[in-house]
Amino acid sequence: MGMRSSIRYRRLPALIKVASLCAFAVSVMTVGTANAQLASIYSGSGSNGGVNIASWGSGEVAFDQNNVYTGVRSIKVTTQGMFQGGRIELADPIDLSPFIGSPSDYLDFVFRTAGQNRNNRGYGFGPGGYMGGPPNRRMTGPPNFGGYNQNNQNQYQQNVEIKNIRFVLVTSNGKRVEGEIPLKNQRRDDQGWYNLGVPFAALKSLAAGDKLKEVQVFADAPGSFYVGEIRIINDTTPIHANSLDDQTEPKDSELTFQGSADDGVTPLVYNWNFGEIKGDKGVDAVGRRVTHTFRKSGDYIVTLTVSDLYGFKKPSVTTCRVRITL
């Protein structure tokens, strides 16, 4: 059974006016029998959802009506790396003062990835590769990851997966605050949308009086992703690790363990202990889906600990029994 969500939508300061239903707005929503408010940065409504968009570096950005999470359109961002992507400029900057330092107020993003298998034209983290960041900024990194090889200018296919979304918050006073949101091991809905948030308590460079005027988004691999929605919410939903199935298998068999949890919008970390060493509570594997081979027969207690990536919510623990036969 899933846990009842405890996400609440906070009221913005009175100085923010509702211009129209098609522009940037503070929308009233009903949750159960109580009214609450949603602080919407981008909601996919109207001709442009109350924002202007522009590319950053050699990235590309455009409105898209074929992949919609809410409203009538999303924002498609095509990136070659962590410094090439898109800019989302707010028509009306948002005063972030009410949310500064809060562990339960989240900057919430809805993303969906697409098209990671692309010709790489030499942008990225490789030797000699240029990123779409500040002019003349030369980046270096691991060989054969998106770099431009001056000895071999042929395009090549690279089977890569977007695992992290990088974001930069730009305030009216020129401050730039950045972070990353992991997609790997996170839950998606049946349409492939990730709904993940960053608590304002983790955005330590923000201060009272800062007003958000722009959000920049990038990815850690060549490809495209969609921004379905950006908002500010209050989320106190506890983490609840769902139960695991007991297993009985012969020794030397590779067993698969699949974890899941309910948690609101918090990015989660899945740590496994396979119980092979008595008294050892260390981490033997990390991830929602892991495999393990038991070499000796016997009964084992496998423990899954699901925790908040940012450490503000209490972890949740579940176990299962594994019987290994001869």
Kindly state the tokens that stand for 68: 């919609």
| Res 143 pLDDT > 70 | no
Cα separation, 55 vs 247, whole angstroms: 51
What whole-number distance in Å separates Cα of residue 182 and Cα of residue 164? 4
Residue 19 is assigned to a structural domain of this protein: yes
CATH of the domain at 255: 2.60.40.10
Q: Is 195 helix (H, G, I), strand (E, B) or coil?
A: strand
One-character DSSP codes across 214-275: EEEEEESSSEEEEEEEEEEEEE-PPPEEPP---EEEETTPEEEEE--EE-TT--EEEEEE--
The last residue of a domain, from among 204, 235, 266: 235
Is 141 among the domain residues?
A: yes
Q: Is the pLDDT of residue 139 over 80?
A: no
For residues 271 and 222, membership in a common domain is answered with: no
Q: Specify the number of domains making up the chain.
A: 2
CATH number assigned to the domain comprising residue 214: 2.60.120.260
pLDDT at 83: 93
Helices and strands, number each (H, E), in the chain: 0, 24
3-class state of residue 308 by DSSP = strand
Percent pLDDT > 90 in the chain is: 69
Determine which of 5-14, 217-226, 316-325 has the lowest per-residue pLDDT on average.
5-14
The predicted pLDDT at position 18 comes to: 32
User: Do both 165 and 215 map to the same domain?
Assistant: yes
Q: Point out the domain boundary residue: 235, 256, 280.
A: 235
CB distance 226 to 64 below 8 Å: yes
Q: What range defines the domain where residue 252 resides?
A: 240-325
Tokens of residue 264, six digits: 């609101």
Contact status, residue 214 vs residue 90, Cβ threshold 8 Å: yes
Report residue 45's pLDDT band, with 50, 70 and 90 as the boundaries. Answer: confident
pLDDT value at 174 more than 50: yes
